[in-house]
Chain A
Amino acid sequence: MRFVDEFRDADKAHALAAKIAGLCEPGRQYKLMEVCGGHTHTIYKHGLEDYLPEQVTLVHGPGCPVCVIPMGRVDDAMALASEPGVIMTSFGDMMRVPGSNGSFFDAKARGTDIRMVYSPLDSLKIARQNPDKRVIFMAIGFETTAPSTAMTVLRAAAEGLPNFSVFCNHVTIIPAIKAILDSPDLRLDGFIGPGHVSTVIGCRPYDFIARDYGKPVVVAGFEPLDILQSIYMLMVQLSEGRSDVENQYSRVVPWDGNVVALRAIGQTMELRPYFEWRGLGFISHSALKLRADYAQYDAELLFSVPGVRVADPKACQCGEVLKGVLKPWECKVFGTACTPETPIGTCMVSPEGACAAYYNYGRLTRTRVKEASTS
């Protein structure tokens, strides 16, 4: 148990684990999904599954923004980057995601001008400094990063910056959760709600999960004890036959979210009719694009984008991992053909991806978790 050595609050963790075990009904299996990739990272890093009774299984959800970008969009981004006079800018997480003809890193090595940035505001600055170039920001992420893109577009508009645009790939978490709830592949008992996404959207958007699907939701923080506490709160609800939305992370997440951030998103972006998610397929109203008022900042309108749907490599089972149907190590190429150094699928690329997190931290718990999942 690495956790005991590494974490100062091991006693509290043991106490929570005992309370969770005490709430398990004999013979009942509990499947709880942690939606957010940051939670997945904590769970593997600290070996939290070792603390849970065998009846409680954690299922890793689709909340890794890099992981859900389909291959066709990577190819589209690559086509944009190859346009004459373009500087493509991207978060570091996106640089190694493979498209049909390699990743941003590969294209950069071939001479394409692709630059890694920390913030969309860095892209804006690059645009100011390079008035003879057209600077595109590869916008990815859930509601955590969408406000930053929105604020940056508003800033570009206020400055009247003519050579900055956004290739918008922002996705919204609620339709993905609904797709998973509607999927016949998986029966879940409750959800550990995402922490930072909820800082923006608040807790109300999860109401339908509790009300219409009868599943409890607990919005959770990122530390090991936060996650164990949230699992305990879910188990209390399940033992009492309740399904409510609760906020374990109230020290950061306001119930109504960040109103300014939501307003910025609403002002600059609108829902697309549909968007393709890796593994989950096309989901209606699940992604954002720039509003017509901001068309001059929309790279999809300024340039021609192939927009071709590209199937994932045959060997890759990221889709099943993203839906929680397969555990990372159950994928045929996990740890052999697909590693963080030479990823085939997105789940092995991002530190928030279930495969990368498991590959980096999970080996010690593999035997035990495997037993639990097949029992």
Chain B
Amino acid sequence: MCLGIPGEVIELLADQPDLARVDVSGVRRVINIGLLEDEIVGPGDWVLIHVGFALSKIDEAEAAAALQFLESIGQAYEDELAALADSRIE
């Protein structure tokens, strides 16, 4: 739950500007980007996601490092990904 997981923004949802579709390790889900309203977020940007909300914008190198770390911790990340895969917020 406290894990921040990196996701790449695929698209912003046209009808709901605070939502974006992201790709997290191949899992594509919709998350809320309302906490980044002070920043410009668009396709190709990387964000750190906590419980369905993007909490910060990160660069691609940080995303890759974070992902490698998360994959190394195993079960806890798999559980988080499985929970994300079941998430349907839109």
User: Which residues of A are in contact with B by a Cβ distance under 8 Å?
Assistant: 6, 36-38, 41-42, 45-46, 64-66, 91-93, 116-122, 124-125, 140-142, 144-145, 147-148, 151, 195-196, 199-200, 222-223, 251-254, 258-261, 264, 351-352
Contacts and interface: CB of A to CB of B under 8 A. Distances in A.
A260 B38 contact: yes
Contacts of A6: 72
A50 B38 CA distance: 43
B10 interface: no
A185 B83 CA distance: 39
A117 B50 CA distance: 13
Given A64-B2, A251-B58, A258-B35, 10 more contacts: A41-B73, A91-B51, A92-B79, A92-B83, A118-B51, A144-B4, A196-B48, A196-B55, A259-B38, A260-B35
Contact of A121 (B2, B32, B48, B69): B32
B86 A118 contact: yes
A6 B73 CA distance: 11
Contacts of A222: 66, 69
A38 B51 contact: no
A66 B2 CA distance: 10
B83 to A, nearest CB: 4
Contacts of B86: 116, 118, 122
A196 B50 contact: yes
Interface in B1-45: 1-4, 31-32, 34-38
Nearest to A38: B2
Which residue, of A42, A117, A259, has the highest number of chain B Cβ atoms within 10 A? A117
A94 to B, nearest CB: 8
A279 B75 CA distance: 27
A44 to B, nearest CB: 10
A145 B89 contact: no
Which residue, of A64, A121, A142, A260, has the highest number of chain B Cβ atoms within 10 A? A121
A264 B55 CA distance: 13
B2 A252 contact: no
A1 to B, nearest CB: 16
A145 B49 CA distance: 10
A93 B1 contact: yes
B52 A122 contact: yes
A166 to B, nearest CB: 13
A327 B75 CA distance: 23
Contacts of A141: 1-2, 51
A282 B51 CA distance: 28
Contact of A260 (B36, B58, B66, B79): B36
Given A141-B1, A141-B2, A252-B48, A258 B55 contact: yes
B3 A38 contact: yes
Contact of B56 (A118, A119, A258): A258
A261 B35 contact: yes
